[in-house]
Amino acid sequence: MNLTLRIWRQRNAHEKGELVSYEARDVSPDMSFLEMLDVLNEGLVEQGQAPVAFDHDCREGICGTCALVIDGVPHGPLRANTTCQLHMRSFEDGDTITIEPFRAKAFPVVRDLCVDRSSFDRVQQAGGFISVSTGGAPDANAIPVGKAEAETAFDAAACIGCGACVAACPNASAMLFVAAKVGHLAHLPQGQPERDRRVLKMVSAMDQEGFGNCRNYLECEAVCPKSISVRFIAEMNRDWRRAAMRRGDAPEQRADG
Amino acid sequence: MNLESKVPGGPVQQKWDRHRFEMKLVNPANKRKFRVIVVGTGLAGGSAAASLAELGYHVDAFCFQDSARRAHSIAAQGGINAAKNYPNDGDSVWRLFYDTVKGGDFRAREANVYRLAQVSAAIIDQCVAQGVPFAREYGGQLANRSFGGAQVSRTFYARGQTGQQLLLGCYAGLNRQIAAGRVTMHPRSEMLDLVLVDGVARGIVTRDLTSGKIASHAGDAVVLATGGYANVFYLSTNAKGCNVTATWRAYKRGAGFANPCYTQIHPTCIPQTGHHQSKLTLMSESLRNDGRVWVPSQPGDKRPPDGIPDAERDYYLERKYPSFGNLAPRDISSRAAKEACDAGRGVGPGGRGVYLDFRDSIARLGRAEIADRYGNLFEMYQRITDEDPYQVPMRIYPAPHYTMGGLWVDYNLMSTIPGLHVIGEANFSDHGANRLGASALMQGLADGYFILPYTIGHWFATARLAPVTTEHAEFRRAEDEAAARTARLLAIGGSRSPDSFHRELGALMWDRAGMARNAKGLQDVVARLPALREQFWTDVRVVGGGEELNAQLEHAGRVADFLEFAELLARDALDRDESCGGHFREEHQTPDGEAVRDDSRYCHVSVWEHGGDGAAPVRHKEPLSFENVPLATRSYK
């Protein structure tokens, strides 16, 4: 199949970017989307042109590195999918496909389709952990965890940190991501001692990074490659309010709460 | 080259305890004076960086990915072994030790393997305390399954993403230490060289992959946790970024490279579909618990699978290995698939595939139960192949997956370069010639959580290190060399992309040094590689500059190192004139195609020393002795 690609080109964070059109010829429907871009790049290199920069690594849908907005939708047209697991059989011969980076104030463009998602790391550094040092952990079976509760924790822990939720949100909110991280540990007995502190710190870090607030558009859930449910956002809001009350802070003190 | 293993004396059960007592300690108040450089943030590097920082050392951690959480350990699907014996089915430290030594085809160091089995249980405790959501039973206890040829259920798992969950556990530990100021994290940074001062590893040179800036980092020890080299075959289950550069640079600075020919070809991957293929996707080996592997009995049978009656199917693993059946170890299953395809009985486009069929399990257990066990894997398969494995058998074929060889390390996980420690897949020590399923995660975390934090202290307490800064002439020299190499790659301006060279190398290696090897093919590889390297250095084309994000430049540097490393792999495979584990030499097999080891000549670790550019490498040996698990022929019949 033959395609027209409109790809966002931007040399670095400081220069302005633009959509540039390319023709992709003889694309096999069995190619993955990223393999289609590999072939395009191969051709660009042969012509001495700068290849399109895009982030990718495992190419099996788990590392969370690949991050393209395809025809306006993060990770493209399939539900519960990552860009690397999208295949060209999802497109028709003659299609024009627009490819852009994940856009958000907290995800500045590094080059072309690569963005800087270190804001996600910083939110997790603020409290996304259980403070247990190596050694001295009790026997793994000492604390039973009910299967249903463990499964719920897992549903949240399945988040691959790609940032599609942010890219899909009109407010560039990171609520689904942060809620997944908070929810994972909040559903486990090991996460209880720091539960209040964790949610307060992570939400505060999220705000500081410049992510917008949640207005229940639910676009995040629709594009999440791991189908993380927005119920975790509701749970996080509840956890946050309770934690703030316990600390004697009125919830209203959060600027945009 | 000094290959003293430093394995302590005494019975194997007491060696690690004894060693822990005999090692010198660093006073708690002095720990903060030591800086450790950890390269790689997968399970081994991430757990080591977090644990060392918890002890009070200052850690500089590096990864080439944009976040530490994306290191390739994340892609591990199946599980992690531990000798917990929760199912009461007869497991023990001794059994895990025994299985691992035997599974490695008697080419691993006994004392290391025993220690691995010993600390395995504590890993699970640690991970659960961190909040790793392992699979559980209704009573709230941890669930276990049998995995990859084990006859006990010792594998802990987290749906099909055990690797991601374990990695998120140590990434969380790492984040806690970053927040505490004890770890300085350097993402999007690639190690380009190792720096030695007075013969001791004292730092690294890196390239910031965003700005292109080349910089030095000094420390009191360097830890490489940079994974394996399966991408030497171009197509593998590894992430695209996985590379040999860090370990290869260390080798060129004097670190011994052990057993580079030990590569693991995983039996259950999705077959290649075309020339554009950029990687191969693993389907978890756990599928073999309920899937049956078969090919048509007759060569050239083109009927669709449901049109082939049972009598005309060859369930070859069940036929050849009745006691292990479809769960035969990886090396054996892979070779059996190749054998079937070589005989013209392969299925799918190009005939390089075998069926993994769930028909009988679905009939026995019901579709819902199969969906519960493997639903996400079935979905992934369907997404990639556009075929529904509930209706049509999966097609699978072996693919390079893991590399048992790596930098040689002693019992303290230190390489032949003083101060340079190597952990996880990057070292050679625990899996011998073949790794058992669910043992990679165990080894990475054992090294990082429970072994290196002890042994590195002994190094600091005994090494008497003089202060060194990046102003030292050796850092300047290494930086200049790295910059010159980058400039050289950019200046060639040839006609071929780095990727095209990588593909050519991969095709050659897969053909001649892949699942089955022979002297002629390996000699051919050794003979052809110099010309391919020459062509690379005169005809590669890297577009763009050095002082910007430039993926082509990164790839070119990695391919250049693979082109050199590949020759060492082939030389080692040629030198090891026997079949063992993942290393199968066609000259050494029984009439029915089983591997034949030669313990009289090859019961040793082959350790290669760099002989200088253009000169042949020198092979040294560390003899292996088996005092606890008697040398025997592996049999899974």
What is the pLDDT at residue B359?
97
Two tokens, residue B15: 């060696």
Query: Chain A: residue nearest B138 by CA?
Result: A147
What gap in Å lies between CA B54 and CA A125, rounded to an integer? Answer: 15
Tell me if B606 is assigned to some domain.
no
B530 shares its domain with B425: no
Same domain, B29 and B102: yes
Query: CATH number, domain at B376?
Result: 3.90.700.10
Identify which of A45, A87, A154 has the shortest CB distance to residue B133. Answer: A154
The number of domains in chain B is 3
pLDDT at A176 over 80: yes
In this structure, is residue B36 part of a structural domain? yes
Instruction: Write down the pLDDT at residue A227.
Output: 97
Tell whether B572 and B552 lie within a shared domain. yes
B326 shares its domain with B383: yes
Does residue B603 sit within a domain?
Answer: no
> Are A157 and B139 a contacting pair at CB < 8 A?
no
B167 shares its domain with B293:
no
Q: Any catalytic annotation for residue B107? A: no
Query: Contacts of residue B279 in chain A, CB cutoff 8 Å?
Result: 59-60
State whether B109 and B140 are in the same domain: yes
Chain A residue numbers touching B125 (CB-CB < 8 A): 137-140
For residue A111, the chain B residue with the least C-alpha distance is: B549
Contact A64 B70 (CB under 8 A): yes
CB–CB contact A154 B159 (8 Å):
yes
Please check whether residues B271 and B254 belong to one and the same domain.
no
Is B185 within 8 Å of B68 (Cβ atoms)?
yes
Question: A171 CA to chain B: closest CA distance, Å?
Answer: 24
Backbone phi, psi, residue A91, to 5°: -120, 165
Residues B150, B249: one domain? yes
Do B276 and B315 lie in a common domain?
yes
In chain A, the residue whose alpha carbon lies closest to the alpha carbon of B539 is A46
Residues B201 and B56 in one domain: yes
Residue for token pair 């979905």? B379
The DSSP result for B268-314, as a single string, is: EEPPP-STT-----B--GGGGGT-EEEEESSTT--S-GGGS-GGGEE
For residue B182, what is the DSSP state?
S
Q: Quick check: is B486 in a domain?
A: no
Looking at the domain assignment, is residue B7 inside a domain?
Answer: no
* B239 in any annotated domain: yes
Identify all chain B residues contacting A185, using CB atoms and an 8 Å cutoff: 131
pLDDT of residue B503: 97
Q: What is the CATH number of the domain that holds B572?
A: 1.20.58.100
Can you give the residue range of the structural domain that contains B170?
A: 12-262+404-463
Mutate to test the interface with B, among A44, A55, A63, A202 (most CBs of B within 10 A): A63
Tens of pLDDT, residue by residue over A183-205, are 999 999 999 999 999 999 999 99
Residues B112 and B253 in one domain: yes
Report yes or no on B2 lying in a domain: no
- The predicted complex's ipTM stands at 0.96
Q: What residue type is B559 in one-letter code? A: V
Residue A248 has pLDDT above 90, yes or no: no
Contact A132 B129 (CB under 8 A): yes
What was the pLDDT predicted at B592?
A: 80
Q: Is B227 left (phi over 0), alpha (psi -120 to 50) or beta?
A: left
* Confidence (pLDDT) at A249: 59
- Ranges of residues in chain B with a pLDDT under 70 are none
Does residue B4 lie within any of the structural domains?
A: no
Would you call B146 helix, strand, or coil by DSSP?
Answer: coil
Identify the structural domains of chain A with CATH numbers, from first to last.
3-111 (3.10.20.30), 118-253 (1.10.1060.10)
CA distance B451 to chain A (A): 11
- The CATH number given to whatever domain includes residue B159 is 3.50.50.60
Across the interface, whether the CB atoms of B278 and A61 are under 8 A apart is answered no
CA–CA separation, B186 vs A216, rounded Å? 35
What residue of A is the nearest CA neighbor of B239? Answer: A58
Residue B427 sits in the same domain as residue B385:
no
| CB distance B31 to B57 below 8 Å | yes
Q: Catalytic residue, from B69, B202, B330, B585: name it.
A: B330
Give the end of a domain, one of B417, B442, B463: B463
Cβ-based contacts of A163 with chain B (< 8 Å): none
Mean pLDDT, residues A163-172: 98
Q: Please give the mean pLDDT across all residues of chain B.
A: 96
